Structure 1
Amino acid sequence: MNKRFALIGAAGFIAPRHMKAIKETENHLVAALDPSDSVGIIDSYFPNAAFFTEFERFDRHIDKLKRSGNQVDYVSICSPNYLHDAHMRFALRNGADAICEKPLVLNPWNIDSLLEIEKESDQNIYTILQLRLHPAVIELKEKVNANPNKSWDIDLTYLTSRGNWYYTSWKGDSSMSGGISTNIGIHFFDMLTWIFGGVKKNTVKVNSHDRSSGFLELERANIRWFLSINSDLLPVSAKEAGKTTFRSLTIEDEEFEFSGGFTDLHTLSYSNILNGDGFRIEEAKTAIDIVYDIRNQVPQGCVGEYHPLAKKPQSPHPFKKS
């Protein structure tokens, strides 16, 4: 039977992947919400979906559908990070399951509250942890599991350029986004802990408006990591090739390649959820704990184990006087 979906955050960067997943799993988007009306992408998937720019009218519409016997089965949540918690609660109050993008929440204690509400409502909350479904990542996990007594040395580098708009959007406010480590790093931390086990030590070397770096000791890995949105840090080879993103994961000095294979991971995530096998609240907790600890630590600076890029000079905030 086809399921009925509503979507919150329809103008967001990740929303089209959710629309595509709903379409490719042969379900229907019946309503969408976003304060911005730049949502023409909906026409490519569900031109007949009702669209709202005000939450109150969207709320009323979802309630009317429920009272008329046409309630939505799922609410897909692509809104700003700090609103995820409220929007999952909204879904459950309306008798729908929630499918929420990362991070599920910003604060670890919100997990416990959501578990209580989930139990009270008899509805489910699912999250998108798509890297766990990547064939190369699954293969790596199998390799690591075959060597249970080995500890692996890893360097993670992820540079994804963002312009000045970033700092005036909610993403540039760490109270709304969780900062760099949450915005662009949480899916990597989830992947790494899924493969290499729980956290033994989490230290931060650098944490600023445009970069974050630290050292993460897991049960079976020692990880030097560096994340940034500053295009000045891109390797020369990437700049010459006209690329704005650079991603590298080296394991024992060997490059782990997983650049391809991302196209259908949201659709696969949806298929698993619809089959009752999606990722649940508890599975998101470890990565949420990691990024919460990162943004609440005082950076140590470049002492002990640190990523080489952590020593690069800091860039001034474009909109703050030094």
Structure 2
Amino acid sequence: MEQIRFGIIGCGRIANRHAEHISNNGKLVAVCDIVEEKADTLGGKYNAAVYYSIEELIENHKDDIDVLAICSPNGLHAQHSIQGLNGGYHVLCEKPMAINVHDCGEMIKTAEAMNKRLFAIKQNRFNPPVAEVKKLIDQGILGKIYSVQLSCFWNRNFDYYKNSWKGTKDLDGGTLYTQFSHFVDLLYWMIGDVKSAKGMSNNFAHQGVIEFEDTGVVALEFYNGAIGTINYTVNSYGQNMEGSLTIFAEKGTVKIGGQYLNEMEYQNIEGYKIENLPEGNSANNYGKYTGSMSNHDKVYENLIDVLKNGSSINTSSFEGLKTVEIIDKIYRSFE
């Protein structure tokens, strides 16, 4: 396979990040957005064909696009991914994979039926301290995991939600889907699958602006016997405060902290010390707010490796489904 060719569906903020990495790793052939100005701007910047409907893009590019990157609003991920897979493309879907469990299943079934790859984005797995702690868990260095605490304290103000699909039940889905699905993914990846969730939530500071919670407190039980908590809010005053994961295990305690799980904040491990971690990428900066650590370069490197060399996929659609299943359990416990 020569240079891999891409199309992008949805030309908002995150699409610019994708276009940049596509141009470093392959060729951006076409872009699409129903907001014509957004499509024109992105297409013009990368000399790509511009479309205002996904159907038109698929119809015109049957043979010269290999992968569609889905960067549309959360609630459209499933529909657009399925259209792309049925069109004969591999698909790279932004997080969350979808905003309900059923849709994730339909996406996976379509990928299987069309014999195409469906890649899910889980960029926090590449944060150096996260990758290192995962390695220690897999090697048994921490021993049995007893409990875990996930803290997500960010700021999302009125401007963030204003005149946007964000904050709507149908297209956004909820704070855990849009802001913190990467963090929930790490619980699944590092600790294991969740057996039960019980929680409470409230909308304290975003009445009339968002259609769901801005704060939640959750207790979790994992199938492997570990227990844990998630405390999350988008009401951290003025700015993001913390994204942290603390693990209490048989042979050690570790805390990955910073604003985006990007710093090794605490470690006390029997006979072992984590040292000389590489510097991670900076956070995604969207002007008035920042998101998770920007590791889309690693996502694209893996995608190219999988498609060209048959390497193993770093973040599979099955794992994307698992994240949505856990968030679904949490949200059902709020009702």
Report the counterpart of residue 32 of structure 1 in structure 2. Answer: 31
Tell me whether 91-100 or 142-151 shows the greater mean CA deviation.
142-151
Pick aligned residue for 2:190 from 195, 214, 217: 195
Report the counterpart of residue 154 of structure 1 in structure 2. Answer: 149
Cα distance 1:128–1:165, how it changes in 2: closer, same or farther (>3 A)?
Answer: closer
SS of equivalent to 1:181: helix
Provide, for residues 61-117 of structure 1, a one-character-per-residue CA deviation record: whole Å limited to 9, x for no partner. Answer: 432232xxx431000001001101111111112211000011111111223322221
TM-score (norm 1): 0.78
Report the counterpart of residue 5 of structure 1 in structure 2. Answer: 6
Q: What is the Cα-based RMSD across aligned positions, in Å?
A: 2.4
Report the counterpart of residue 59 of structure 1 in structure 2. Answer: 55
* Identity level (%): 25
Report the counterpart of residue 261 of structure 1 in structure 2. Answer: 280
Q: Which runs of 5+ in 2 are unaligned?
A: 204-212, 263-278, 283-293, 307-311
Pick aligned residue for 2:181 from 183, 186, 195: 186
Pick aligned residue for 2:104 from 98, 104, 111: 111
SS of equivalent to 2:64: coil
Which one-letter code corresponds to 1:274 in the other structure? I
Which one-letter code corresponds to 1:132 in the other structure? R
SS of equivalent to 2:166: helix
Q: Which runs of 5+ in 1 are unaligned?
A: 300-322
CA distance in 1, matches of 2:162, 2:217: 19
Report the counterpart of residue 225 of structure 1 in structure 2. Answer: 230
CA distance in 2, matches of 1:40, 1:63: 19
CA contact (8 A) 1:178 1:295 kept: no
Q: Does residue 84 of structure 1 match 2:64?
A: no
Shift of 1:133: 2.1
Shift of 1:168: 4.7
Report the counterpart of residue 212 of structure 1 in structure 2. Answer: 216
1:232-311 aligned within 5 A:
233-234=236-237, 244-251=239-246, 252=248, 255-257=255-257, 258-259=261-262, 261-263=280-282, 265-276=295-306, 277-278=312-313, 279-298=315-334
Shift of 1:290: 1.4
CA contact (8 A) 2:154 2:240 kept: yes
CA distance in 1, matches of 2:78, 2:115: 17
Provide, for residues 34-79 of structure 1, a one-character-per-residue CA deviation record: whole Å limited to 9, x for no partner. Answer: 2232467637961x11123x21xx522432232xxx4310000010
CA distance in 1, matches of 2:22, 2:186: 24
Report the counterpart of residue 15 of structure 1 in structure 2. Answer: 15
SS of equivalent to 1:154: strand
Which one-letter code corresponds to 1:186 in the other structure? S
CA distance in 1, matches of 2:321, 2:61: 33
CA contact (8 A) 2:198 2:330 kept: yes
Between the two proteins, the alignment pairs up a number of residues equal to: 280
